[in-house]
Amino acid sequence: MRLALPGASAEAIFAPVQSQTAFEETLERLGTAIKLGLLAPGARLPAERELCRQLGISRSTLRQALTALVQSGHLHATRGRSGGTFVAESPPPADEPSAALLAGWRDACDQRLAVELAVAVLAAERAEPESLAPLDEFVALMDANLEDFPAFRRADVRWHLGLAEAAGSQRLLAAMTEAQGQMTDLISYIAHPPELLAWTNQQHARMLAAVRRRDGDRAMRIMTEHLKGTEHVLAGLLPAVQA
């Protein structure tokens, strides 16, 4: 089946994405299109070269996003002359989130952004080397559990809480705990392909390096990229809820 979309819909889906969150925004764009039926079950995506041109991204970024969507069950790929990347005939099932949870998901992302940006800046100013050493262990633990999301998520939460502890603010640590709890509720409703988890953990390592260099501006930029990426993924992969 070939892709057949109204011109405006096709332009919206395949318009250029922002460079800083290209991977996650591509996930959002394609995931949302699949969720809303703009990319119908069985539809074949344009060739990689054409998608890269339309989205304004590199082939490696596109392949990362497509691999993540294949791993999550939203797409499937076939080889051969008639092969390509196709929308799954049956999207992955998911428990339906409550209307209240979905209604507040962007507010939860905003709250997390405010808290974690402050943590990144203060950690870069205040963190002692010994307070950062356990965070290296959590990065390694996440790398070792890309196929086991519950284990990955436990290490992920501990990494973020550890960074808040290193920032030296008990109130920020309490706020971080609340924000992480809200995000856990939300992300339990989406798929967690290993490709996406690996990308996320690379950002953890980069942030940690910036904090060690006392580079608060860079730590904040990477944290923004990290959190905005999560927001894109939630927008693309959270299941639709009927009113």
Give the model confidence (pLDDT) of 143-170 as tens digits: 999 999 989 998 999 999 999 999 999 8
Q: Which of 52, 87, 122 lies at the terminal end of a domain, its last residue?
A: 87
* 217 and 141 assigned to the same domain: yes
On whether residue 242 sits in a domain, the answer given is no
* 58 and 107 assigned to the same domain: no
**Beta pairing partners, 77:** 85
Whether 4 has a pLDDT exceeding 50, the answer reads: no
Whether 119 has a pLDDT exceeding 50, the answer reads: yes
Q: Which of 87, 115, 140 lies at the terminal end of a domain, its last residue?
A: 87
On whether residue 94 sits in a domain, the answer given is no
Length of the chain in terms of residues written: 243
Whether 196 has a pLDDT exceeding 70, the answer reads: yes
Separation CA 207–CA 224 (nearest Å): 10
Residues 6 or more apart in contact with residue 107 via CB below 8 angstroms: none
* 82 and 107 assigned to the same domain: no
CA 231 to chain centre: 7
- pLDDT tens for each residue of 20-64: 678 888 888 888 778 757 788 898 999 999 999 998 999 999 999
On whether residue 44 sits in a domain, the answer given is yes
On whether residue 1 sits in a domain, the answer given is no
* 185 and 81 assigned to the same domain: no
* 119 and 64 assigned to the same domain: no
Print the domain residue range for 165. Answer: 99-237
* 124 and 63 assigned to the same domain: no
* 17 and 38 assigned to the same domain: yes
On whether residue 180 sits in a domain, the answer given is yes
Whether 5 has a pLDDT exceeding 50, the answer reads: no
Q: For residue 46, give the DSSP letter.
A: P
Separation CA 222–CA 243 (nearest Å): 36
Which 3 state secondary structure label does DSSP give 229?
Answer: helix
CATH number at 203 reads 1.20.120.530
- pLDDT tens for each residue of 59-96: 999 999 999 999 888 999 998 777 889 999 876 655 56
On whether residue 110 sits in a domain, the answer given is yes
* 22 and 107 assigned to the same domain: no
Q: What is the DSSP string of 162-213?
A: HHHHHHT-HHHHHHHHHHHHHHHHHHTTS---HHHHHHHHHHHHHHHHHHHT
* 107 and 166 assigned to the same domain: yes
* 175 and 139 assigned to the same domain: yes
On whether residue 93 sits in a domain, the answer given is no
CATH number at 75 reads 1.10.10.10
Backbone angles phi, psi at 180, to 5 degrees: -65, -35
C-alpha atoms less than 13 angstroms from C-alpha of 80 in its C-beta half-sphere: 3
* 134 and 230 assigned to the same domain: yes
- Locate 76 and state its tokens: 């499937």
Q: What is the pLDDT of residue 22?
A: 86
Q: Which of 87, 121, 137 lies at the terminal end of a domain, its last residue?
A: 87
Closest-CA residue to 27 (of 202, 236, 224): 236
Interhelix angle 105-126/170-187, nearest 10 degrees = 140
* 164 and 44 assigned to the same domain: no
Give the H/E segment covering residue 75: strand 75-78
User: Is the full-model pTM beyond 0.75?
Assistant: no
How many domains does the structure of the chain reveal?
2
Output helix, strand, coil percentages for the chain, rounded to the nearest 5: 65, 5, 30
